[in-house]
Structure 1
Amino acid sequence: MSWQHTMLAGGLALCAVASASATGDAYRGEAIYGRCLACHALAYDRVGPRHCGLFGRPAGGVSGFVYSPAMQRARIVWNARTLDRFLASPRKMVPGTSMTYDGVPDRTERVDLIAYLKQAGESAECKPAVR
């Protein structure tokens, strides 16, 4: 095998690893979500808004939940990218937010947490009851 083929194979392997790590580990993310439970729940509002239905929802978008004016003005739609930025430093992304948690500085933990939130959003707990 030529050195070009070796470099190409190595580069493809690195891309595969990066792609796999970008999807996150929902199992590890569930453990990280334990930090959020002081203020949030999946299916109901607490001090913070519920996380069911988070993906695709505009910031400040849970009907009946009282958000800070900063979050109401944020013009954010929650997706993996916006959640990653927000979770890294909530008060930096939305100055004036009432969220007091400093964030999740570790990128891998954020990716895992986002994977969990995405998976949980598809769970029976987050699906409306069929009547």
Structure 2
Amino acid sequence: MKRLILPAIALCLTAGMASQMSVPVQAAPQADAARGATLFQQRCAMCHTRNGKGGKIGPDLTAVMGRKAGSATYAYSSAMKASKTVWNAATLDKYIAAPTKMIPGTKMVISVTKPEDRAAIVRYLGAGK
């Protein structure tokens, strides 16, 4: 009987340790979008709107997902207009991480360095209006 109990205990302990060492569960999409809304207000709203009425210093970002870069009503740089970029989660993440590296000559010079902040902002922008 002891021969069966000890391996069973070891297996349970190993399984418990493995679950503690696993990758943390990602936040729910709604939580990311809500956090993204807050981050958008803190980091982006000084230049961008998301109300369909036009931008401020930067373009309005309503329905930005799937849109060709430089195609909305706004005075874009020639670099942005010439860009072949179509906005999706990956391109937005890359752009807001380092705008001038992705599209040299863009007007946007402010970046968001933390990947988790970018992910939340991108999720918010993709969540509709």
TM-score of the aligned structures, taking structure 2 as reference length = 0.75
Q: Is the 8 A contact 1:21 1:108 kept in 2?
A: no
CA distance in 2, matches of 1:96, 1:48: 14
Unaligned runs of 5+ in 2: 1-7
Q: RMSD value over aligned CA atoms?
A: 2.5
CA distance in 2, matches of 1:114, 1:30: 10
Question: Which among 66, 71, 87 is matched to residue 75 of structure 2?
Answer: 66
CA distance in 2, matches of 1:55, 1:114: 9
Unaligned runs of 5+ in 1: 124-131
Q: Is the 8 A contact 1:70 1:94 kept in 2?
A: yes
Number of residue pairs matched by the alignment = 113
| Deviation of 1:29 (Å) | 0.8
Bigger radius of gyration, 1 or 2? 2
What are the within-5 Å matches in structure 2 for residues 49-64 of structure 1?
49-62=59-72, 64=73
| Deviation of 1:25 (Å) | 0.6
| Deviation of 1:78 (Å) | 0.3
Q: Following TM superposition, where does structure 1 have runs of at least 4 consecutive aligned residues deviating by more than 2 angstroms? A: 20-24
TM-score of the aligned structures, taking structure 1 as reference length = 0.74
